[in-house]
Amino acid sequence: MGQDFQRKSPLAAIHKTQIHHLCLGQLQGEVVSQFLRENHFKHFEERDSSGWSPMCYAAMRGDVKILKALLAKKGNPNDKTTTL
């Protein structure tokens, strides 16, 4: 019965979707955290001494995975370098 419930139940589909989103969010968070550490940032909205943010570095590298993860964390899609 347990396996039939999981295959046929709309509740099981909803539960799987929620778990998928939770795991995806956690994975994106880990990807962003690693990227920030590697580039000596503490926060995704931080800027370095040259006025570059993590979003700028990810865009320059063409790293779509990081860009999507930063956007999921509410990163600014219109971010650009600034002079401090």
pLDDT tens figures, 4-23: 444 555 544 444 554 444 44
Each domain of the chain, given as residue ranges in start order, spans 2-72
C-alpha of 23 from chain center: 11
Token reading at 50: 């040259």
CA distances from 41 to 11, 30, 33, 36 (A): 41, 14, 9, 5
pLDDT tens figures, 20-68: 444 445 556 688 888 888 888 998 889 998 899 998 999 998 989 888 8
Rounded to the nearest 10°, the torsion over CA 23, 26, 18, 55 is -120
Token reading at 77: 């899609």
pTM above 0.85, yes or no: no
